[in-house]
Amino acid sequence: MPPASKKPAEQASSLGNGGELHQTASAPDARITTNHGVPISDNQNSLKAGRRGPSLLEDFVLREKIQHFDHERIPERIVHARGSAAHGFFELTESLADYTTAKILTEVGKKTEVFTRFSTVAGGAGSVDTPRDVRGFAVKMYTVEGNWDLVGNNIPVFFIQDAIKFPDLIHAAKMEADRGYPQAATAHDTFWDFIGLMPESMHMVMWIMSDRTIPRSLRMMEGFGVNTFRLVDAAGKGTLVKFHWRPKLGTQSTCWDEAVKIAGADPDYHRRDLHDAIASGDLPEWEFGVQLFTDEEAAALPFDILDATKLVPEEVKPIRVVGRMVLDRNPDNFFAETEQVAYLPTNMPPGIDVSEDPLLQGRLFSYQDTQLSRLGSTNFHQLPINRAKGCPFQNFQRDGHMQTQVIPGRANYEPNSLAEAGEVAGPRADPRGGFRTASVPVEEGKVRIRAESFADHFSQARLFYRSQTAIEQAHLASALVFELSKVTLQHVRDRMLSLLRNVDEDLASRVAAGMNLDLPAAAKPAVAPQDLPESPALRIVGKYPETLKGRAVGILVSDGADGSLVQAVRKAATQAGATVKIVAPKVGGVTLKDGKKLAADGQLAGTPSVIFDAVALVLSEEGCAQLLHESAAMDFASFAFAHLKAIGHTAEAMKLLEKAGVKPDAGVIDLAKGVDGFTKAAATRQWDREPKVRMLA
Ligand code: HDE
């Protein structure tokens, strides 16, 4: 059973001053009312002219209810529409007082409330959780000096260098304008047409074609601030900084074929996973780290730190871990919190500042602006989820749609001298403690150009590709083959191949061979690519911990199965940290060998192996014989094998495995030899099996 959400009363309310708005529907005498508090006597029948007559305009109860319903939807986000979020806290473990005055980065041990929203980028709000896509990683920290929104992604670089290209990028990536498809997919003509004409995107292309864009869980993703920011000390001196979130469970991904099938099996796979983990007390956690640079260090890098298509390898500048974030509470209301939360890169407490990165500079305008069309009012900051909670917010901005504050007095302008007459005079600027911009020299007059220091588009793409393990390189090449095979315009495919030759000749040849196409001549780069030292830190495979923590194990059982073996597998996997589900042909469960009933958590047809990290088949001979005629059972076994999962089995289950094409290997484990072998194998993917189950590019 999925863990239920805690009832509001059991959760510490973190909405603070929003709490009074909560309805008290659980009170025993709760009486349904209109929106204006008038008690309703009948919520089932409308007011009619006679028993069988037409409804009356007079029926304000009916009209109010329907009218409110008619307006329930608001525009979804133009990007990052589909998201899932949770409450939690940030805790600083090491002070950055040498670099910044921001209290959240100097007060060690203090816990600050956060609200974190993860998202896909291209799909609509009702799309699925597992397309190949960048994931948003947006954290709102309610600090005592105002909200700090670190609005990042799970990839440290971006497609474009200048914000002016963003509408083109998103138009090209989203469903095509005339036909309205594909939804939530970049595997189509317009996306690759644009990308091929935009060589600056080549580094990002390597990342999006890597397994990073098919994450196993939102709890297993890194987060990056992407743009370069500044920390500002008391003297106004700035230090360049890049922000990082690192998941405690390591960065883990699915297989592409698996991600596609999860989309059908459980479109809400990531949302459910996050919700269930938090509800069951298995709290997701990330380390918070920084890379700090003086201006001189930044100037010595082989690229421009203001260019968001570049990263600084950890091997060049290690990440200093200075804090952690734990998500410990699910939202009470999806719309009020996850949908209405508005992140603004301009939300920064004093001591944190922006850089001149031209991508970030455009973002500083866009987010504030988009909330107006999405949330409909300049007062969106007054919504409980957006309100500054760590400190008051007060100024002389007044009125507007949906103003919820009742501010007494005449002081709605400044300066004023009303205090001299004993009246409330309102707040004043704080030159010492208020937000200050780092002093940065401006070099020249107005120009509409791209700096020469942004011209190298291939060196870091090459660095990324060459830093991957052989398995990851094969996945990346195969992803390119998949995407470009969905492209219908030959010149678009050719242009991509010609660009890939500048990244890596081997990669280009593999992709061309994967499509059975000839390699065109290499594109002429603006700047010849350099061979930078590899960065093993950019890998996923071999880096995440081999553990069952955070993973899911499915046990397929049949009538007549050995109950003690089921219990042994369940106990061992649970003790090792996994969530275990019993899957049976029928939802009412099975009758075990000893005559006892075993309840099921899921029915076989609706609980396929794609939603588990490892599976065990504890079947009796008869049970297995019956399942030989059940395609869902065949898929359960064959997909687990194809998706490189550990498979534990009884001897009686072998016939099913054989029919499903499962070839015994180190990850296919006879449970009669003890369950430990299974739990050990289940702690990772069986990468060695991959060449036997699919043709990779
Ligand atoms: Fe965003 N982005 N973005 N973006 N972005 C939005 O703001 C925009 C960029 C990111 O969970 C929008 O409130 C421009 C980079 C996240 O609510 C919009 C540019 C990064 C979210 C917007 C970028 C991001 C958004 C749409 C190029 C990683 C979801 C709704 C200059 C650092 C936040 C909204 C949430 C959302 C604009 C590029 C991250 C339209 C113009 C780079 C995680 O304002």
- Mean pLDDT of all residues belonging to the chain: 95
What six digits make up the tokens of 86? 């949770």
How far apart are alpha carbons 663 and 640 in whole angstroms? 12
- Residue 82 CB less than 6 A away from ligand 1: no
- Residue 152 CB less than 6 A away from ligand 1: yes
* Span from the CA of 103 to the centroid of ligand 1 (angstroms): 26
Across the range 397-422, mean pLDDT stands at 97
Nearest to 580, CA basis, from 605, 604, 548: 548
How far apart are alpha carbons 272 and 579 in whole angstroms? 13
Task: Read off the pLDDT of residues 37-49 as tens digits, 9 standing for 90 and up.
Answer: 999 999 999 999 9
What residue spans in the chain does CATH classification 2.40.180.10 cover? Answer: 48-56+68-382
Question: Going by C-beta distance under 8 Å and a sequence separation of 6 or more, which residues neighbour residue 677?
Answer: 648, 669
* Span from the CA of 215 to the centroid of ligand 1 (angstroms): 20
| Beta bridge pairs of residue 668 | 647
pLDDT at 179 over 90: yes
What residue spans in the chain does CATH classification 3.40.50.880 cover? Answer: 552-693
How far apart are alpha carbons 205 and 461 in whole angstroms? 8
Task: Read off the pLDDT of residues 644-660 as tens digits, 9 standing for 90 and up.
Answer: 999 999 999 999 999 99
- Residue 291 backbone zone (phi > 0: left; psi -120 to 50: alpha; other: beta): beta
Q: Which of 20-24, 92-96, 355-359, 497-501 has the lowest mean pLDDT?
A: 20-24
Domain over 552-693 is classified CATH 3.40.50.880: yes
Q: Identify the band that residue 26 occupies on the pLDDT scale cut at 50, 70 and 90.
A: low
Across the range 290-316, mean pLDDT stands at 97
pLDDT value at residue 236: 94
pLDDT at 20 over 70: no
pLDDT value at residue 538: 98
- Residue 239 CB less than 6 A away from ligand 1: no
Catalytic residue chosen out of the listed positions 43, 45, 68, 153: 153
Q: Class assignment of domain 455-538?
A: mainly alpha
Task: Read off the pLDDT of residues 566-609 as tens digits, 9 standing for 90 and up.
Answer: 999 999 999 999 999 999 999 999 999 999 999 999 999 999 99
- Residue 366 CB less than 6 A away from ligand 1: yes
Please report, to the nearest 10 degrees, the dihedral formed by the alpha carbons of residues 532, 319, 298, 502 taken in order.
30
pLDDT value at residue 443: 82
Name the amino acid, one letter, at 531: D
How far apart are alpha carbons 41 and 243 in whole angstroms? 56
How far apart are alpha carbons 404 and 387 in whole angstroms? 12
pLDDT at 271 over 90: yes
Residue 491 annotated in active site: no
* Span from the CA of 74 to the centroid of ligand 1 (angstroms): 18
pLDDT value at residue 19: 43
Nearest to 619, CA basis, from 579, 659, 665: 659
Q: What is the helix (H) or strand (E) element at residue 148, kind and residue range?
A: strand 146-153
**Biggest distance spanned by C-alpha atoms of the chain:** 92
- Residue 138 CB less than 6 A away from ligand 1: yes
pTM of the predicted protein model:
0.96
Name the amino acid, one letter, at 192: W
What six digits make up the tokens of 156? 């440290």
Task: Read off the pLDDT of residues 465-482 as tens digits, 9 standing for 90 and up.
Answer: 999 999 999 999 999 999
Nearest to 510, CA basis, from 225, 272, 209, 259: 209
What residue spans in the chain does CATH classification 1.20.1370.20 cover? Answer: 455-538
How far apart are alpha carbons 461 and 203 in whole angstroms? 4
Give the atom of ligand 1 at the shortest distance from the alpha carbon of 360. Answer: 31
How far apart are alpha carbons 259 and 218 in whole angstroms? 14
Give the Cβ contact number of residue 388 at 10 Å.
Answer: 17
How far apart are alpha carbons 219 and 249 in whole angstroms? 7
pLDDT value at residue 24: 56
Q: What is the helix (H) or strand (E) element at residue 654, kind and residue range?
A: helix 654-659
Percent of the chain with pLDDT over 70: 96
Task: Read off the pLDDT of residues 155-172 as tens digits, 9 standing for 90 and up.
Answer: 999 999 999 999 999 999
Catalytic residue chosen out of the listed positions 80, 244, 475, 643: 80
CATH number for the domain running over 48-56+68-382: 2.40.180.10
pLDDT at 17 over 50: no
What six digits make up the tokens of 212? 């990073």
CA-proximal residue: ligand 1, atom 3 (nearest) = 363
CA-proximal residue: ligand 1, atom 16 (nearest) = 136
How far apart are alpha carbons 200 and 73 in whole angstroms? 37
Give the atom of ligand 1 at the shortest distance from the alpha carbon of 79. Answer: 26
For 197-239, give the DSSP string. T-GGGHHHHHHHTSGGGSBS-GGG--EE--S-EEEE-TT--EE
What six digits make up the tokens of 384? 């409980």
CA-proximal residue: ligand 1, atom 30 (nearest) = 77
What six digits make up the tokens of 455? 């011209």
Across the range 311-337, mean pLDDT stands at 98
Task: Kindly give the interhelix angle for 470-486 and 505-515, rounded to the nearest 10 degrees.
Answer: 50
Nearest to 159, CA basis, from 131, 133, 138, 183: 133
Q: Identify the band that residue 22 occupies on the pLDDT scale cut at 50, 70 and 90.
A: low
Task: Read off the pLDDT of residues 219-260 as tens digits, 9 standing for 90 and up.
Answer: 999 999 999 999 999 999 999 999 999 999 999 999 999 999
Residue 80 annotated in active site: yes
* Span from the CA of 592 to the centroid of ligand 1 (angstroms): 53
Phi, psi (rounded to 5 degrees) for 270: -75, -40
pLDDT value at residue 18: 40
pLDDT at 266 over 70: yes
pLDDT at 50 over 50: yes
Give the atom of ligand 1 at the shortest distance from the alpha carbon of 224. Answer: 32
Q: Which of 35-49, 437-451, 552-566 has the lowest mean pLDDT?
A: 437-451
